[in-house]
């Protein structure tokens, strides 16, 4: 049985030394964590409400508007489409945008024709087989996409 004389008294021994990296982390983490910007949540609107805020832009014979880049310094929105790049001044007031036609060289077109590819396609994705995904593909309203990869087949619900 231990007596009180054999137990160390509180405060009689110095506290154990903290390892240097842990001490350094504790000192530096305070100022660093104060500089991290907070995340701003995204806002969503029903399309019926958003139409009053939006200005629509289309150009004849231009398809696949898939690349967008905003340059805040010049107040310009660059829109990449099939064979074309547009530069729209912000805020967009409906004026005619600057346009650069970026055509594919004829040698590349001929090379694609030799491979059996056609120019008059609306989508550049090759669809090998369509299959009804009803009952195979779950739908979750919170997800942005309802496509599922099952083995090698992509199932897209109707």
Question: For 47-80, how does the pLDDT look when each residue is reduced to its tens digit (9 = 90+)?
Answer: 777 777 777 778 888 878 878 888 888 888 888 8
CA end-to-end distance (rounded Å), the chain: 79
Among residues 58, 52, 54, 128, which one has the least CA distance to residue 91?
A: 54
**Is residue 79 domain-shared with residue 99, that is, in the same domain?**
yes
| Domain of residue 109, residue span | 60-120
Residue with tokens 């120019």: 119
Q: Is 7 a member of any domain?
A: no
pLDDT at 4 over 50: no
Total domains in the fold of the chain:
2
Q: Please tell me which of 14-28, 116-130, 139-153 the model is most confident about, judged by mean pLDDT.
A: 116-130
Would you say residue 18 lies in a domain?
A: no
């Amino acid at each position: 049985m231990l007596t009180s004389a054999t137990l160390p008294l509180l405060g009689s021994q110095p506290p154990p030394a903290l390892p240097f990296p842990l001490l350094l982390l504790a000192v530096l983490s305070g100022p660093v964590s104060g500089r991290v910007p907070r995340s701003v949540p995204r806002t969503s609107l029903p399309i019926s409400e958003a139409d009053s805020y939006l200005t629509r832009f289309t150009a004849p014979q231009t398809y696949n508007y898939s690349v967008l880049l905003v340059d805040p310094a010049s107040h310009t929105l660059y829109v990449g489409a099939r064979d074309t790049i547009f530069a729209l001044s912000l805020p967009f007031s409906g004026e005619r945008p600057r346009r650069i036609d970026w055509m594919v060289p004829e040698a590349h077109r001929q090379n694609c024709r030799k491979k059996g590819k056609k120019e008059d396609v609306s989508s550049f994705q090759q669809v090998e087989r369509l299959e009804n995904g009803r009952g195979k593909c779950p739908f979750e309203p919170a997800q942005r996409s309802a496509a599922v990869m099952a083995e090698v087949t992509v199932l897209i619900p109707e």
